[in-house]
């Protein structure tokens, strides 16, 4: 009996919290929706991947998807209240394809909207995250202890043949060409396959160097000596020209507002974070439930008024 009462109470609390979360307003003080002049802030946090990060708990990824960022960039370009864009980066990097997508969208944003872009780095702004920052930022800020740079590319692979032999496991592969399955972990890579992969890595690395050199207005040869994959602290990066200023988020925000013609600390517009229920069930489902719930509440309220 007690167990049944406990389960019932938990379910009632969960239902109540769900309804409250649907009906409550936006309490995030860092989001300004009705302002005449502001800076749009886009958070790029965690590993950077291509596509979206998903809406439900089963799809949710602890990172940033390129499609989500590109959509926010386009929204900022069309929003007349947005005077500048601030990239708030705290990421070790990720997919070079995702970095390329976001960078191209940022360059289009600047070309079409004529709005400035500033980057603020937290703990990290390295590899693909630095690619994004360097491509289109008018100014890059990092803390003195931020780890940034890491201008390099790698493609991991694994060889577990000795382990498989030890436990008595064999594997095989039926393939259409000699180089199909060249990163398979159950055999040694051939020299030809290694050369193919190395050429791919080198090509992407050259593109990385080109993007940074153009974005930072640096000589390619000078940059090449810095682009061996190492990370730099914010202070070191400032000394070699990879960032512009050592400063925190609010220093970068103030500069973004200044470049956008806003005096003083600007108001901020940033996408509202999903509620726990949106993460669990998916934003589209929660929106549909919220719409129906509000409709029923309104109908019931109007019915009460009609009977009085």
| 16 domain residue, yes or no | no
- Same domain membership, residue 65 and residue 146: yes
List CB contacts of 73: < 8 A, sequence separation 6 or more: 42, 85, 102, 105, 106, 109
DSSP 54-103: -SSTTT--SSEEHHHHHHHHHHHHH-TTEEEEEEEEEE--B-HHHHHHHH
In tens, the pLDDT along 162-171 reads 888 889 888 8
In tens, the pLDDT along 33-78 reads 455 799 999 999 999 999 876 544 444 457 899 999 999 999 999 9
Q: Is 4 a catalytic residue?
A: no
- Same domain membership, residue 51 and residue 131: yes
Q: Is 180 a catalytic residue?
A: yes
Domain span at 131: 27-150+230-273
| Backbone dihedral angles phi then psi of residue 229, each to the nearest 5 degrees | 95, -10
| 50 domain residue, yes or no | yes
- pLDDT attached to residue 90: 97
pLDDT of 17 over the 50 cut: yes
Q: Which of 127, 139, 238, 267 is flagged as catalytic?
A: 127
- Same domain membership, residue 297 and residue 223: no
| Backbone dihedral angles phi then psi of residue 197, each to the nearest 5 degrees | -65, -40
Spatial contact of 141 and 170, defined as CB atoms under 8 Å apart: no
3-state DSSP call for residue 48? strand
Spatial contact of 90 and 121, defined as CB atoms under 8 Å apart: yes
Share of the chain above pLDDT 70, in %: 74
- Same domain membership, residue 96 and residue 162: no
| 5 domain residue, yes or no | no
Q: How many domains does the chain have?
A: 3
- Same domain membership, residue 140 and residue 43: yes
Q: What distance in Å separates the CA atoms of residue 136 and residue 108, rounded to the nearest whole number?
A: 10
- Same domain membership, residue 129 and residue 200: no
Spatial contact of 202 and 210, defined as CB atoms under 8 Å apart: no
Please give the helix or strand (H or E) that residue 271 lies within, else none. Answer: none
Q: Which of 171, 175, 178, 180 is flagged as catalytic?
A: 180
- Same domain membership, residue 260 and residue 136: yes
- Same domain membership, residue 121 and residue 35: yes
In tens, the pLDDT along 208-258 reads 999 999 999 999 888 999 999 999 999 999 999 999 999 999 999 999 999
- Same domain membership, residue 220 and residue 102: no
- Same domain membership, residue 120 and residue 248: yes
Q: What distance in Å separates the CA atoms of residue 88 and residue 96, rounded to the nearest whole number?
A: 19
Token pair in block for residue 136 = 């289109």
| 19 domain residue, yes or no | no
């Amino acid at each position: 009996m007690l167990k049944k009462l406990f389960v019932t109470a938990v379910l009632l609390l969960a239902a109540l919290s769900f309804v409250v979360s649907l009906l409550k307003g936006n309490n995030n003080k860092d989001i300004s929706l009705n302002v005449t002049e502001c800076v749009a802030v886009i958070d790029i946090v965690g590993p950077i991947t291509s596509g979206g990060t998903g809406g439900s708990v089963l799809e949710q990824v602890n990172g940033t998807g390129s499609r989500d960022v590109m959509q926010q960039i386009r929204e900022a370009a069309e929003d007349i209240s947005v005077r500048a864009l601030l990239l708030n980066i705290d990421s070790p990097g990720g997919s070079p394809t995702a970095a390329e997508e976001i960078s191209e969208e940022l360059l289009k944003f600047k070309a079409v909207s004529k709005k400035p872009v500033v980057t603020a780095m937290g703990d990290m702004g390295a590899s693909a995250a630095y690619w994004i920052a360097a491509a289109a930022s008018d100014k890059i800020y990092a803390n003195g202890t931020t780890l940034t740079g890491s201008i390099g590319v790698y493609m991991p692979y694994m060889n577990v043949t000795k382990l498989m032999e030890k436990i008595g496991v064999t594997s095989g592969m039926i393939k259409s060409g000699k180089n199909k399955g060249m990163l398979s972990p159950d055999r040694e890579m051939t020299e030809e396959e290694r050369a193919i992969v190395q050429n791919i890595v080198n090509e992407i690395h050259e593109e990385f160097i080109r993007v940074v050199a153009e974005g930072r207005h640096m000589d390619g040869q000078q940059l090449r000596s810095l682009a061996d994959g190492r990370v730099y602290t914010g202070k070191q990066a400032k000394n070699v020209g990879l960032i512009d200023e050592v400063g925190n988020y609010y220093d970068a925000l103030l500069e973004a507002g200044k470049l956008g013609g806003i005096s003083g600390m600007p108001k901020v517009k940033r996408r509202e974070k999903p509620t726990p229920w949106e993460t669990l069930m998916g934003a589209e489902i929660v929106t549909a439930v919220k719409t129906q719930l509000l409709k029923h509440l309104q109908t019931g309220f109007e019915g009460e008024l009609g009977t009085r």
